[in-house]
Chains A and B, each alone.
Chain A
């Protein structure tokens, strides 16, 4: 949230020249306040809303019948529920990376994409959170996971990674919400002041908490924002690390490995950036935001995808290598089974999606062509889902005793709930872009060249960032 120097050559690349404080404000707030809701919005929202209703119906049926309607059974007790949980929570990670880590690294280009990336985080975590709860079998007893003094005199097992997961994911959801809301406060004040209808003035006014842009407030606000970024940065790394512990601490061949935490975190960021691109490319086209979300942004995100994709590819390589090098025949078999066993087609599709396709991003021509970038991002989204499927299912379906081997297939209810969450996620994104500013207005104002101060006789204080 720092003001770039006026002569910063990057400013022109991350914000179209010619914008003023007023034009930035009006352009972003008009999407919410005055412009006609485009047909794209109505169609997209109705389709995703219908999918959401289907999700709720599927969940309702699940609550009536129990998880027997899913494909999970011995030996594969962790089916779609865990695959989808890990996939969704990983998607959220790019939002926190953009809003927190890139802020601390002074990457000003993050400004125009951080708001909806944070919203994406929040909505993805909401989808993720549903799966472990539904997978409990008796979701109405989910509060037993929380440590509280109870008449059963029972406590959760604090040495279990599954309990760590409860703390990690709920902390992550809470901190993401706080971060997102704090970022919204000044923009809600803008909407309050620009809204024409009384109802919206009151609504945005309550959301803005009476923000008035006082210098003393801004000072504490920026400090708080940086502190939150500093807190969210280790948090985001810890969340997927804890998720990977769910696997790595188990003794299943193919899971019990120290590569898991870094490889999971890299995979999360990889997929998260793919999802940001999936959302950003259509949104900038429909709402004419090419001046704010420029090609430079798309190229930068493509580069991060390429880098994290290579880390993930390295993870696959090390998994295979360690399976052989460990000398453990169960590990070796589980790796070989991935390559050639009954789920080999999933594995090779995963290699195609996650390792081969992103190599196209080495070419600048491809990084600067939004529609190709969008296709690659979709392939990566699918690839990361396949990765989680391969990790969960191939390891479980062939464990130590051949007599307990089995196969796993998702049922129509597994697919309904999975695809339903995609609809729910998109419906929430549509509501968000309709009712809240999808780009941080006050941070964009600070990118306008005129935001630099050339006051005479003003001693230049250290930037707040430097002091905190």
Chain B
């Protein structure tokens, strides 16, 4: 942050954004998983880990519950199937019936390909937009981006951020705790 002219220096802490949390940097996925596990054992709950690729062990280490996404996808997929069948039945049997040599109007076997395609289409949209929605994306701004070395989270570094909202959070105590985990760069993150 660039120093301001003396006349406009505000009193300490006034106008300073509130603290979002403390972020600690680790070298390897193993260290990150260990740190998250230890933090959870120590009673911290409001925290998140950031890594350049998915680490499956993280799910257990952070005590995350399994995502409900598959259920959403199943339901929307079935809605897609119903939409396709109803549309074809309505168009072919009710709204625009064509008598071709007395063949049945609601000839459902011929409706299967479109029903199948629309099921996949609806389910795929549900998968992508469900995932983005549950993740709260797009989110152009997030406090962790203020962490000085956070750009490396998309390259080769692993971060654990304990939020200030955690009931157990205490700036000095949490910082000392993170130091015991072998983090080599601990920074305060502003909102």
A is bound by B: yes
Chain A residues engaging chain B, CB cutoff 8 angstroms:
1-3, 20-22, 25-26, 147, 153-159, 161, 163-164, 167-168, 171, 174-175, 178-179, 181-182, 186, 189-190, 192-194, 205-206, 209-224, 227-228, 231-232, 234-235, 238, 242, 245, 442-443, 445-446, 450-461, 463-464, 467-468
CB distance from B49 to the nearest CB of A (A): 4
Pair count A-B, CB < 8 A: 231
Is B30's CB under 8 angstroms from A453's CB? yes
14 extra interchain contacts, Cβ-Cβ under 8 A, other than A186-B154, A222-B56? A25-B155, A147-B91, A153-B95, A161-B113, A175-B121, A178-B125, A210-B142, A213-B51, A215-B48, A216-B135, A219-B67, A453-B33, A453-B55, A461-B57
Shortest beta-carbon distance, A198 to chain B, in Å? 14
Complex formed: what's the CA distance from A449 to B51 in Å?
16
By a CB distance below 8 angstroms, the chain B residues around A190 are 52, 154-155
Within the assembled complex, what's the spacing in Å between the Cα atoms of A468 and B59?
Answer: 14
Name the residue among B29, B70, B110 with the largest chain A CB count within 10 angstroms. B29
Q: Quick check: B87 and A147 within 8 Å, CB to CB?
A: yes
Query: Which among A25, A158, A179, A468 has the greatest number of chain B C-beta atoms within 10 A?
Result: A158
Residue in contact with A442 in the complex, picked from B53, B91, B110, B152, CB distance below 8 Å: B53
A155-B91, A209-B132, A212-B145 as given contacts; A458 in contact with B124, CB under 8 Å: no
- Chain A minimum-CB-distance residue to B29: A453
Number of B residues, CB within 8 Å of A: 71
Given the known inter-chain contacts A147-B87, A445-B52, A453-B55, please indicate yes or no for A219 contacting B140, CB distance below 8 A. Answer: no
Q: Which residues of B contact A (CB under 8 A)?
A: 28-31, 33-34, 36-37, 48-62, 64, 66-67, 69-70, 73, 87-88, 91-92, 95-96, 98, 107, 110-111, 113-114, 116-118, 120-121, 123-125, 127-128, 130-132, 134-135, 137-142, 144-145, 150-156
Q: Is the CB of A228 within 8 A of B62?
A: no
The interface residues of chain A lying within 8 Å CB-to-CB of B124 are 174-175, 178-179, 228, 231-232
- Please indicate which of the listed interface residues B54, B111, B113, B151 has the most CB atoms of chain A within 10 Å of its own CB: B54
Given A215-B59, A220-B131, A231-B124: A468 in contact with B153 (beta carbons within 8 A): no
**Chain B contact residues: helix, strand, loop or mixed:** helix
Instruction: Collect the chain A residues with CB atoms within 8 Å of residue B107's CB.
Output: 159
Closest to A160 in B: B110
19 chain-A/chain-B pairs, Cβ below 8 angstroms: A3-B56, A21-B53, A158-B88, A158-B114, A161-B113, A181-B128, A182-B131, A206-B140, A209-B140, A210-B138, A211-B154, A218-B58, A220-B134, A224-B128, A234-B120, A452-B30, A455-B34, A464-B56, A464-B59
Whole-angstrom distance from the CB of A305 to the nearest CB of chain B?
27
On whether the beta carbons of A461 and B59 are closer than 8 Å, the reply is yes
B104 to chain A, nearest CB (A): 11
Looking at chain A's contact residues, the main secondary structure is: helix
Query: B72: shortest Cβ distance to chain A, in Å?
Result: 10
Give Cα A156–Cα B10 distance, bound, in whole angstroms: 70
Docked-complex contact A458 and B66, CB < 8 angstroms: no
Q: Which among A171, A181, A194, A460 has the highest number of chain B CB atoms within 10 Å? A: A171
What's the nearest-Cβ distance from chain B to residue A186, in Å?
Answer: 7
Instruction: Let me know if A458 and B156 touch, CB within 8 A.
Output: no
The one of A20, A217, A235 that contacts B120, using a Cβ cutoff of 8 Å? A235
Within the assembled complex, what's the spacing in Å between the Cα atoms of A290 and B116?
40
